[in-house]
Structure 1
Amino acid sequence: MRLLASSLLLLCLSAYSEGTVISKEPGESIHLTCSSEECPTYSNEYHYLYLYYTIDEEAEVVFSNIKSERFSPRGKYESRTKLDIHNRTITLSNLTASDTGIYKCVYKKSSTEKITCSVYAVFITEKTPCSTVSPAVEPSPVLMYIIFVCIISVLAMWILMLLILPKVQQRFIKRRAMHAHQSSADNVYEIMRREEGAQVAAPIGLV
């Protein structure tokens, strides 16, 4: 059950994040680089770098003032986070299952001007020894909630693509056909009016 839940979660995170998927085991480290092609350069004056963690709500992981090289991890990340200011890589060490989620780099010039780039879906698997048979352990409520939200999101996307969009397209085609038919009928009516006018005007010309 836990293996199935883990696989579903990894698949959902991959589809939802539209970024890089990273799978690690507890106790390991990850390196999140905030210097992809979508990220601003130093000359763009985006001096404030944030790393955010998201599952059901957004939480700040790291704040850094690149210009002054100030670095400030937040909350539970304070003692296990490092920043390489030169290549803008943030390292999170001693990972736990609660670190599973979506991480994104955000550069800010001001409170209103910001750029989001380098999105990562991080999945922390739990070690399961192969030599021993452990009793079945049910996934935690948080894990089940994440899987449920991901599955609903993926299903909604497929329903939109497979059911709603074709109907909208068919309706658009029918509407265009009706418009073309109406235009053709109007043209025929206009021609008949002209022919009738010509027939009425002909006797008057003869007199």
Structure 2
Amino acid sequence: MSAVCLFILILCFYGTARTAAGKAETDGYKVIQIKVGKQVTIQCKSASNQEMLYLKRGLNEEEDIFYLTDSKKSTINQKFTDRLQFHGQVPNVDILLKNLTLDDTGPYWCVYKMSSNYKLKTSRGNGSVLLVVTESGPAPVCTGQSQGDLVLVSVVICAAVLIVVLTVFLIWIIIKTKPLRSTVKKRQVPVNDVYEDMRGTIRR
């Protein structure tokens, strides 16, 4: 029983840790769900001066979608040549993706690069999105606020589960120990009948 409690406790902490980690990862971007054929605007921004902006796609930023320098030199991925428009200049650029398809689903990162001491310094900017393109349905936007609510709910659920498990465990211990107490017989002190007989004869 204690092993089960420990296992549930580990699961709760693991789930909470995963949720908190998910919140930390999504704090820098928002999740957007959009229907096929619609459009989305990715607003890349940075508080500091930058020289180059890359819009990258993929969990590991493996695909370059768009590139823009502070001298307004730009490059667009062939898949988006007819579907991508941009406005503004580095570091604040609005990137419009039109006629979205299911294949466009994925994380899009605003990545900035700037030369410092003859080296390129890379940093992520604000405005990155996790784009989910669907065939039908509404297009809600999830932000860090909903992630915070998810963390709170998961913590409350874990606490409730732990309280229930501990209560059941205590009841189980009480039930388990009661029969032991009732089955233990009181030890009777043996009476030596020989000595009692001798005392009786002496008195006579």
Q: TM-score, normalised by structure 1?
A: 0.48
Q: TM-score, normalised by structure 2?
A: 0.48
Larger Rg, first or second structure (1 or 2): 2
